[in-house]
Structure 1
């Protein structure tokens, strides 16, 4: 159970970081870089949106696993 909670916290943090990146609040949106060749590649908006969508789906799935369920029965 603690492992699921930790995964949920990590996903919430990832979603927050992606949203901050999309809103221009962080500078660490670099995907790759080289030092001597002085090259830099940033994440594209499309990649960030896809990762955001994936992360939200994963979080929903984990929350569904940990949410208490109600069981209804019908007696005849």
Structure 2
């Protein structure tokens, strides 16, 4: 069952939880802000990461992790 998130902050928390699962314990990569790409519906693959902190290897997988987080936590993000 799909549910709407209250805001993108719930998606950010979910993505950061998945990043922590995937990365080494010494890695502190995380995203702080994302938004739907201009003119796109806020769905898997249509997100622009505004603030990412971490190594390039982690940044390369963030798009995939965003889509996984939406699926895993059954989130449908509604525009604020």
TM-score by length of 1: 0.30
Highest Rg: 1 or 2?
1
Higher percent of residues as strand: 2
Greater RCO (CA < 8 Å, at least 6 residues apart): 2
TM-score by length of 2: 0.30
